[in-house]
Amino acid sequence: MRSSLYDFAGGDAAFLRLAAAHHARCLADPELNHPFSHPGHPQHVERLAMYWAEVMGGPSRYSEACGNQSSLLQLHAGNGDMTDLGRRFVACFVAAADDAQLPQDAEFRNALRAYMEWAVAEVLRYGPQEVVVPAGLGMPRWGWKGLLTPPGARSTPQS
């Protein structure tokens, strides 16, 4: 049995490097710079790393400390059509995997790209301003062959 994508990548340290590299690439992108340059959560990079780590098979730190998939989608909902930004976001993610010195294994890199393409499509579904994000969506889990646990699975409410 293969290790999780989280373990194969190198655990928490690898996902922190990935999140930092991705954030830097988004800030450097002339189109993505605008949404990424606004002050956000002071621990945005760390929270992003925890989220990706959990999705890829790591510990449930994001969902325990920050919320579930519904709360994440709500943060990004109602922003209108951002299809072009989505493509740029994926490109930055793919390049950031190199910057973060993640394993070059082709199957691993394909799994990462497939995840981010799925994740961006999921966020873009909630782009219309009148959209309602369902409550209680659990965290998705991604493996070597794709989605393992869809976010439609309900989680317990956050307190």
Domain over 5-149 is classified CATH 1.10.490.10 = yes
Outline where DSSP puts E strands in the chain. 141-143, 146-149
To the nearest whole percent, how much of the chain has pLDDT over 70?
A: 90
Q: What pLDDT sits at residue 36?
A: 66
- Please work out, in degrees rounded to the nearest 5, the angle formed at the alpha carbon of residue 122 by the alpha carbons of 118 and 128: 145
- Lookup: tokens for 38: 């606004």
pLDDT (tens digit per residue) in 17-30: 999 999 999 999 99
Question: What global pTM score does this model have?
Answer: 0.89
Average pLDDT score over residue span 124-151: 91
155 pLDDT above the threshold of 60: no
- Lookup: tokens for 66: 């920050």
Average pLDDT score over residue span 92-105: 98
What are the φ/ψ torsions at residue 33 (nearest 5 degrees)? Answer: -55, -40
pLDDT band at 156 (very low <50, low <70, confident <90, very high): very low
CB–CB of 44/95 below 8 Å?
no
Instruction: Report which of residues 58 and 158 the model is more confident about.
Output: 58
Q: CA separation (Å) from 86 to 46, 82, 93?
A: 21, 6, 11
Instruction: Report which of residues 96 and 158 the model is more confident about.
Output: 96
Sorted by sequence, the CB contacts under 8 Å of residue 46 that are 6+ apart come out as 16, 19
Q: What is the mean pLDDT of the chain?
A: 89
